[in-house]
Chain A
Amino acid sequence: MERRLQQLFFALSVLALLLIVAAAHQANTPSWKTFQHNYHVLEAQGEPNEVTKAAVLATPPEVHQFMLTGLQRVDRCTTCHMGVEDPTMKNAPEPFRYHANLGPHVPSKFGCTICHGGQGLATTTEDAHGKVEFWENPLLSKDYIRASCGRCHKEGDVPGVPELTEGRHLFETQGCRGCHKLNGIGGTIGPDLTGEGASHRAPEWLETHFLTPNALSAGSAMPNFHFTREQAKALTYYMLSLTSEDMGSYYSSVRLIPGPEYGRKLFAEKNCITCHNFGGIGQKAGPDLAGVTTRHSQEWLDEQLVNPELVYPGSSMPAYDLESNERKALISYLSSATPADVQQLLSNKAKALSPQDVAIEAGKQDFARFGCVGCHGTELQGGVPNPNAQGGEVPSLLHLSDDYTKDEVLAVIRNGRVPPIDNANGPPPPLYMPAWKKVLSDEDINRIADFLWSKQQKKDAW
């Protein structure tokens, strides 16, 4: 017995040792080391002589990583994708191929996963590509990678990604906010979309959902908007970009890509033309801005926009609170502007509207912006199906004045309303009028009512 026990102790000790060796072996032979070796073999082929070849092959294996504090991530993708920044790897097989067209998006500042998705911290193929349980942000397929541009470039046009602009436009004009909240504004019938891009739904799911809302969420209250395939894709792009991440200051500074288009908008908004003129068009209180970009350096102009008094003591130009990208945009517009264009800006401004028209126009915009059009239609025609509500659909708003006073309409907008039920035993209708009093100011609500009243048609006169 005692002898047996001693043998057992010995055997178990050997087993423990073996297990430690096995664990160390497992830890010491990760797949990325094989990738690195293969990459060095590939690299060595390009070396002129045996000595440099040997040196390349002898490169010790190490984990490569980008520490991206501003993006709150660490990307180790280049541990295997070693040729990303090496143009000679243009035709190399994956995972070693060179990444063309990076432009300003250098990996050391942006990493990889902010655009591509995946798990930057991981060092095995499966985990890194994020197609594993408990990592909800897998690699985006090629079709949808460009949606990631919208994570930083949240406004304006992104060159090469018209889908984002289109998606944003559709969202604001098709009445999505009537049911969905985004950044705190919108209805409560559908889910809040503020972090939709971070909810890790597959892009294909989103796209199908936009085409036929009922296909994936049975009984969804979302009406079928009869979007085209392109529109559905644009909306999908926009959704994917809505991650509500906390971006570092640098990354959020490029919400708008500085360009002449954006500069033109700022030029008009900030009313530069009330003091300045451009080749004689405008006012003479400030200097002529035509050719200003050739007379002064970029830096000088930038400084002038930040603090005019510093450049010209006693200057009457106010210091505008412009972000550095806004200043860049303005300067780029000034370098490309023509007197004719400025003339057009001026004439746009000249269109005078009566205060009444202004209020109605504002009401119309609110009606679209806060999503009323989602159910009631851009022409107030209604008609969106709402099963088991009386009439089976969302009512038209064109004949409100027949049945309601304006005060009653105001009350409905403020407090919301559940539509009368057709069949008391059936399920409640999915759509209802949300209460807007906590979302909209009284001013907005009054404007919307003004807009509605301006559109009222009398029913058949008899």
Chain B
Amino acid sequence: MNIFREVYQSIVRRDPLSTDKGKSELVFLNVWLHIHPAKVKKENMKFRHSFYLGFITFFLFLILVTTGIALMFYYRPFPPQSYQDMKDLQFVVFLGPFLRNMHRWAAHGMVVCVFLHMCRVFYTGSYKKPRQFNWVIGIFLLLLTLGLSFTGYLLPWDQLAYWAITVGTNIGSYAPFIGGTLREVLLGGHSVGQAALVRFYVLHVAILPSLMILLTIVHFWRVRKDGGLSRPVWKLKAPSTAGLVTIGTSADAPLVPTQAASTTKTYGLMEVVTGKPIFEQVTPEEEEDTVFSYPYAFVREAVTLMATVTTIMAMSLFLNAPLEELANPAKTPNPAKAPWYFLGLQELVSHSALLGGVVAPALMVIALLVIPYIDRNPSRRPRDRKWAIWLFTAFVVVNLVLIVVGTFFRGPGWALVPPWVHVVGRPE
């Protein structure tokens, strides 16, 4: 018996979880969990503050990695075998359709959740000092998500994939001076072909996921180093009303104000560095408002994980990922559409290639990147930042409207056709 005990103790070195020390050690003696603080602020666990969008995005990424690796066992990045592999997944691989569906829906879900997460961070003003740089990293993670989704889009090698990537890379080629070269480097030629498929495959399964993981690590690390999750805005509004009640007085007697030992308690590496740390200052009342991560934060994360996984699994059981006919360079669908998240861009391109395909998206990305540095307003309260909120909302709405128009209101020849009008016959 002793040997088992010894083995167990060599793996789990913490004190029992019934003790506070054990609860702390569970977190910081564990390489996977120590990204969490041992204790979290209660208010930060409020669902209506963050909607757990960051977690959901991360869990979707985990689903994508898992199902993606499983799919790699069945995939050859050579046309037309790639398409045959899709058919094999559909018809003869055990759980093949389920795996592919999960990968597809999780991918779309991730694009949506990254975007929503960004909106949440903006609306709560959480990109402000000291979190500016983490916002920048977040924007790069958004771009990486789009890149991963876009490169994965080509891999099934069906008509949908082929023409979406043809249109998508054409949009990129409108960039002055470098556009053509950029497209050529990405495709390994002048049109989407075998070389393009291999390049997209390598980007999709090696380069972009590696960058994604690296930046995710930095993103999480910065969350901790910048003082944890931002405080809910409603907490900012409420000035401290904490007070002491003198025992024996009537209920409506005035509270005796608390006397803090110091008004700005700070943490720092004593005797190693001097000066104040850069992160938000924590007042004593706040510190008392914390609980151990185990089990409070972990159970919430676990529920979020399972909710994400079951949602994707349920979708995958009933909704099949699209697979059209084998890619045919000689047969252009009309209209040929980019993946949905680029349809806003394609809509802009249809009005002006240079303005819509290059200037507008470049400005958009640059604007997103510099937001934390040009927004000099220190307040995070919505009523203090009406302009910022209006501008960002306009940005979101314009993007959504463009995507909706591009997706549902564009028919053959990119003509404006409402989705309820049925276009008869296929144009020759």
Contacts and interface: CB of A to CB of B under 8 A. Distances in A.
Contacts of B96: 27
A135 interface: yes
B135 to A, nearest CB: 30
A63 B93 CA distance: 11
A63 B313 CA distance: 26
Contacts of A72: 80
Interface string B75-112: 00000100010011011101111100000000000000
B303 A23 contact: no
B18 to A, nearest CB: 16
A76 B96 CA distance: 17
Interface in B295-319: 295-296, 299-300, 302-303, 306-307, 309-310, 313-314, 316-317
Given A121-B84, A123-B92, A134-B323, A8 B303 contact: yes
Given A5-B299, A122-B87, A12 B306 contact: yes
A170 B324 CA distance: 36
Nearest to A119: B87
Given A5-B300, A5-B303, A12 B310 contact: yes
B252 interface: no
A344 to B, nearest CB: 47
Contacts of B84: 74, 121
Residue in B95, B306, B307, B330 with the greatest tally of chain A CB atoms within 10 Å = B306
B307 A12 contact: yes
Contact of A26 (B159, B295, B299, B317): B317
B101 to A, nearest CB: 9
Contacts of B313: 16, 19-20, 23
Contacts of A5: 299-300, 303
Given A23-B313, A26-B317, A135-B325, A9 B91 contact: no
A122 B88 CA distance: 8
Interface residues of A, number: 33
Contacts of A127: 91
Contacts of B295: 2, 6
A2 B302 CA distance: 12
B310 A15 contact: yes
Contacts of A28: 94
A16 B306 contact: yes
Contacts of A12: 303, 306-307, 310
A121 B88 contact: yes
Nearest to A8: B303
Residue in A23, A24, A26, A134 with the greatest tally of chain B CB atoms within 10 Å = A23
A19 B92 contact: no
A22 interface: yes
A302 interface: no
Nearest to A195: B330
Nearest to B94: A27
B332 to A, nearest CB: 14
Nearest to B86: A121
Interface string B116-156: 00000000000000000000000000000000000000000
A155 interface: no
Interface string A114-153: 0000010111100100000011100000000000000000
Interface residues of B, number: 33
Interface string A8-39: 11001101100110111011100000000000
Contact of A9 (B95, B158, B299, B317): B299
A67 B95 CA distance: 23
A2 B292 CA distance: 13
A134 B300 contact: no
A217 B80 CA distance: 33
Contact of A76 (B92, B98, B296, B324): B92
Contacts of B159: 134
A380 B129 CA distance: 87
Contacts of B94: 27-28
A122 B91 contact: yes
B299 A2 contact: yes
Contact of A19 (B87, B296, B317, B324): B317
A16 B303 contact: no
Contacts of A15: 306, 310
A15 to B, nearest CB: 5
A24 B306 contact: no
A27 B95 contact: yes
A24 B95 contact: yes
Given A22-B317, A127-B91, A135-B325, A16 B309 contact: yes
A47 B300 CA distance: 62
Contacts of B324: 134
Interface in B182-227: none
A9 B306 CA distance: 7
B29 to A, nearest CB: 23
Contacts of B330: 195
A22 B317 CA distance: 8
A370 B159 CA distance: 35
Contact of B299 (A6, A27, A217): A6
A249 B325 CA distance: 26
B71 to A, nearest CB: 15
Contacts of A16: 306, 309-310, 313
Contacts of A26: 98, 317
Contacts of B317: 19, 22-23, 26
A135 B317 CA distance: 22
A26 B318 CA distance: 11
Nearest to A123: B91
A2 B94 CA distance: 39
Contacts of A195: 330
Given A5-B303, A12-B307, A121-B87, A23 B98 contact: yes
A301 B364 CA distance: 78
Given A2-B295, A23-B98, A121-B91, A134 B306 contact: no
Contacts of B87: 119, 121-122
Contacts of A63: 92
B98 A27 contact: yes
Nearest to A136: B325
Contacts of B95: 23-24, 27
A5 B305 CA distance: 13
Contacts of A19: 310, 313-314, 317
Contacts of A135: 325
A245 B171 CA distance: 33
A13 B307 CA distance: 9
Given A12-B303, A22-B317, A122-B91, 12 more contacts: A2-B299, A19-B313, A19-B314, A19-B317, A23-B317, A72-B80, A121-B87, A122-B87, A122-B90, A123-B91, A124-B91, A134-B324
8 contacts: A8-B303, A13-B306, A15-B306, A19-B313, A23-B313, A63-B92, A127-B91, A217-B428
Interface of B: 80, 84, 87-88, 90-92, 94-98, 158-159, 295-296, 299-300, 302-303, 306-307, 309-310, 313-314, 316-317, 323-325, 330, 428
Instruction: Rank and list the top 8 A-B pairs by shortest CB-CB distance, nearest first.
Output: A12-B306, A121-B87, A19-B313, A134-B324, A123-B91, A23-B98, A27-B95, A9-B303
